[in-house]
C-alpha cells in the first residue's frame, strides 16, 4: 500500500477519548477500516486507503503501521466470514 494513505498517518485515529478520558473505538472503527482525522470533524470518517487531502500527512513508525495493517486485514476477514455465512444461509 502507498505510504501516503490514512492507515500510515499519525493523524488517523481508530480510537478516541470518551467523556471519562478512556480511549475507545466506536461503531465505524469496530467494523474495520475507518477512522477519524485529527484535522477534521470528529464525526467524519476516513477509509484506511484514502490519500491525505489536507497536506498534513505524517508517517508513523513501521511497527505501528504493520499493526494497523494487521488489524485491518483481521477486520476484512471477519467481514468476509459474515458475508459467506449470510450467502450460504440464503441458498
C-alpha cell at 44: 467524519
Q: Are 44 and 54 in contact (CB under 8 A)?
A: no
Helix, strand or coil for residue 20?
coil
- With a cut of 60, say whether residue 2 has pLDDT above it: no
Continuous segment of H or E residues that includes residue 12? strand 12-13
- pLDDT of amino acid 61: 92
- pLDDT of amino acid 91: 52
- pLDDT of amino acid 87: 86
Continuous segment of H or E residues that includes residue 45? strand 45-47
Q: Quick: pLDDT tens for 22-75.
A: 888 877 777 777 888 888 777 788 888 888 877 889 999 999 989 888 888 888
- pLDDT of amino acid 1: 52
User: What average pLDDT does range 8-27 have in this prediction?
Assistant: 84
Q: What is the distance between the alpha carbons of residues 1 and 79, in angstroms, rounded to a whole number?
A: 20
Backbone angles phi, psi at 78, to 5 degrees: -65, -40
- pLDDT of amino acid 63: 93
Q: Are 7 and 49 in contact (CB under 8 A)?
A: yes
Q: Are 61 and 8 in contact (CB under 8 A)?
A: no
Q: What is the pTM of this model?
A: 0.69
Amino acid at each position: 500500500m502507498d505510504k501516503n494513505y490514512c492507515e500510515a498517518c499519525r493523524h488517523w485515529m481508530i480510537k478516541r477519548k470518551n467523556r471519562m478520558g478512556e480511549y475507545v473505538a466506536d461503531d465505524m472503527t469496530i467494523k474495520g477500516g475507518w477512522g477519524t482525522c485529527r484535522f477534521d470533524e470528529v464525526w467524519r470518517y476516513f477509509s484506511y486507503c484514502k490519500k491525505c487531502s489536507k497536506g498534513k500527512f505524517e508517517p508513523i513508525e513501521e511497527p505501528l503501521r504493520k499493526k494497523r495493517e494487521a488489524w485491518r486485514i483481521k477486520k476484512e476477514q471477519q467481514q468476509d466470514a459474515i458475508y459467506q455465512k449470510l450467502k450460504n444461509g440464503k441458498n
